Copies of this chain bind each other. A is one copy, B any other.
Amino acid sequence: MKIQSVNLSNTNVILTAYLLDSSPEMPNIKQRPAVLVLPGGGYRACSDREAEPVAMAFLAEGYQVFILRYSLNQHAVFPRPLNDAEEALTLIRANSADWSIDPQKVAVCGFSAGGHLAAALGTMGSTRPNAMILGYPCILEEMSDIFPAPVPGVDQEVDELTPPAFLFHTFDDRRVPVQNSLAFADALNRKNIPFEMHIFPTGTHGLSLARPLTSSGLQSMVEPVVAQWFGLCTRWVSSVFGEFPSSIEPVLDEEVHEYSLDVKLGLLWNNEQCKKLILDAIPELGETPHPDAMGVPLRTILSYDGDLLTEEEQKQLNDGLKTISVI
């Protein structure tokens, strides 16, 4: 994994990228979905409780994750925070090839005021995310009262370009009333934008993952019932973006420039000379190897079964394969 921090245009606005490694052993993961996390804090802070722990939870799903620390306090005059989010999203898509991201699978995930910003990006952004995850979001214009500067009511802004949404909220949230999520759901429904929403009866505002991990040590911040949101959410994300591929058909689409142990068995098998050379060296493979093996480089197969060839024999076979010309 690599971690990169990028200063965006506005003062003190930082995008931190958590980028998982690619590996030849994981050929099914060339492009990953990405999640842009917007922590909450009333446009006065970006809570650490809604930043790294949330990022880690999405990384465990195999997604590339970004945390945006956006414009706050006197700088939080709309649309400045929205511009920060637009800039972050544009940067993620612009670098998607380098960062192994599918540019059409970028979700935004915001909490509280960060949920307002996420919903604003999804409804008003000059560029839009492909999915929105909104935790106890501020939605209504009247939430402006607790912010340093007025914000638009994003329930008023839902349009045909708004991406699908996942929302969760607690009924007894006294800081950001559940009416916020209900109003946004209603607005999505009117525009026929699909959504999943979970309203739990009990839990204070700002629960983040609702686990001891994000509790600041406070019992009131641990709600096992609400903590179910994250599992529900990842299931939703994979229904929207799809799972990482795992079909029995090995992926044999790349072009071969030179035969060697590092070429997938299925591609070597397509060449009769290669096949003969390999079978002479490793008769155990048999005429029709297991389909699973066809998508794996021969070297990997050998590494799993050390009895097949000695290192010296591997070297010989590799040299032999290299002499066979690719048509």
* Binary B-proximity of A201-229 (CB < 8 A = 1, otherwise 0): 11000100000111111111110010010
Task: State the CA gap A224–B171 with chains docked (Å).
Answer: 26
A26, A200, A217, A244 — most chain B CB neighbours (10 Å): A217
* Interface set, chain A 72-86, CB cutoff 8 A to B: 73
CB distance from A295 to the nearest CB of B (A): 6
Q: Are B146 and A305 in contact (CB under 8 A)?
A: yes
How many residues of chain A have a CB within 8 Å of chain B? Answer: 88
Q: Are B56 and A20 in contact (CB under 8 A)?
A: yes
Q: Are A218 and B171 in contact (CB under 8 A)?
A: no
| Chain B residue, CB-CB nearest to A58 | B60
Within 8 Å CB of A145, what residues of B?
A: 307
CB distance from A23 to the nearest CB of B (A): 4
**Interface membership of A277, Cβ < 8 A:** no
Within 8 Å CB of A53, what residues of B?
A: 60, 62
Q: Is the interface of A mostly helix, strand, loop or mixed?
A: loop
* Binary B-proximity of A243-258 (CB < 8 A = 1, otherwise 0): 1111110110000000
* Binary B-proximity of A105-129 (CB < 8 A = 1, otherwise 0): 0000000000000000000000000
**Interface membership of A319, Cβ < 8 A:** no
Q: Across chains A and B, which 3 residue pairs bring their CB atoms closest together, nearest first?
A: A28-B217, A23-B48, A60-B60
Pick 6 A–B contacts, CB within 8 A, sort by A.
Answer: A1-B52, A3-B3, A53-B62, A197-B199, A218-B248, A221-B292
Q: Which residues of A contact B (CB under 8 A)?
A: 1-3, 18, 20-21, 23-29, 41-45, 47-49, 52-53, 56-57, 59-62, 73, 145-148, 164, 171-172, 175, 178-179, 182, 185-186, 189, 194-202, 206, 212-222, 225, 228, 232, 235-236, 239, 243-248, 250-251, 292, 295-296, 303-307, 311
